């Protein structure tokens, strides 16, 4: 390695994918630091062919990767590093370590904690959910360093935006059904005031049949002895509705789906169920 600043590519979680734009970046670097999950031996050998490679074993690196350590300590340009695939595997005793590198989550993170850099370069290979593809390039010299974050997908902007998109609450089937039902209730009220058109009998009948079908499925889970939480998760149903159905079944053991529907309507007109 030549004297002067060291340019190090910091990457993780390639999972067998080496993108052309990533390879172009690697050609400009002196060393490669990889925080695990190569996923296959071919990717490991390709990365270690032209540049020195500092690497650890990821949870998806099996068989061929027996020679890779789980935790690796090393120095570059007077800067001391420690690296593991998962953050939880970083030892608590870090001594004079200046940079901690890890991966696994596919999500870029860069934190200064007690004067020490914690860096997860994200994934620049295999894409996970909506998390943006990324890596980092460090310039290291005389015990000092700087970090450049490289986003490979300009449209996503930041990890926060991607996580917000992935974490956006999803409506359950029951919630969507109830939203339609409430809207039609408003339309019926509006019709009385001469403001909205009436809901057709066909549409109302279709909604009731859809609800009846869901109630029958919940009833089967109750008879099978399933816990309410398990039934709600597996039927993609609102836990409040499931609890209400279970309560009717406990009170009326012989009730069928239609009877349960009538009981729930008596309780609160089918509009608010908790």
With H, G, I as helix, E, B as strand and everything else as coil, classify residue 170. coil
Angle at which helices 201-223 and 239-251 cross, to 10°: 70
**Which of 46, 54, 96 lies closest to 72, judged by CA?**
54
pTM over 0.75: no
Residue with tokens 């919940």: 218
**Residue 167, pLDDT score:** 52
Mark the ranges of the chain whose per-residue pLDDT is less than 50.
Answer: 155-157, 166, 195-196, 270-274
Phi-psi region of 266 (alpha: psi -120 to 50; beta: other; left: phi over 0): alpha
**Residue 202, pLDDT score:** 66
pLDDT in tens, 220-258: 888 888 888 888 887 888 888 888 889 988 989 888 888
Q: What are phi and psi of 189, to 5 degrees?
A: -65, -35
**Residue 235, pLDDT score:** 82
């Amino acid at each position: 390695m030549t004297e002067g600043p060291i340019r190090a590519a910091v990457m993780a979680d390639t999972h067998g994918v080496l993108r052309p734009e990533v390879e172009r970046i690697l050609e400009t670097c002196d060393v490669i630091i990889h925080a695990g999950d190569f996923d296959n031996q071919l990717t490991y050998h390709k990365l270690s062919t032209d540049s020195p490679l500092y690497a650890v074993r990821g949870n998806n690196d099996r068989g061929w990767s027996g020679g890779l350590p789980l935790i690796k300590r090393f120095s570059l340009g007077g800067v001391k590093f420690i690296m593991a695939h998962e953050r939880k595997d970083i030892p608590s005793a870090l001594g004079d370590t200046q940079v901690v590198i890890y991966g696994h989550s596919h999500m870029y993170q860069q934190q200064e904690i007690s004067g020490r850099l914690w860096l997860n370069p994200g994934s620049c290979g295999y894409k996970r959910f909506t998390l943006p593809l990324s890596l980092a390039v460090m310039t290291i010299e005389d015990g000092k360093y700087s970090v450049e974050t490289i986003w490979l997908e300009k449209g996503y902007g930041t990890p926060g935006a991607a996580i917000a998109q992935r974490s956006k609450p999803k409506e359950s089937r029951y919630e969507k059904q109830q939203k339609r039902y409430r809207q039609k209730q408003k339309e019926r009220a509006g019709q009385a005031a001469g403001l909205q058109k009436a809901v057709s009998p066909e549409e109302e009948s279709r909604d009731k049949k859809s609800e009846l079908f869901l109630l029958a499925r919940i009833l089967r889970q109750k008879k099978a002895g399933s816990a309410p939480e398990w039934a709600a998760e597996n039927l993609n149903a609102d836990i409040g509705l499931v609890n209400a159905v279970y309560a009717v079944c406990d009170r009326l053991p012989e009730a069928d789906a239609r009877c349960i529907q009538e009981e729930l309507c008596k309780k609160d007109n089918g509009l608010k169920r908790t």
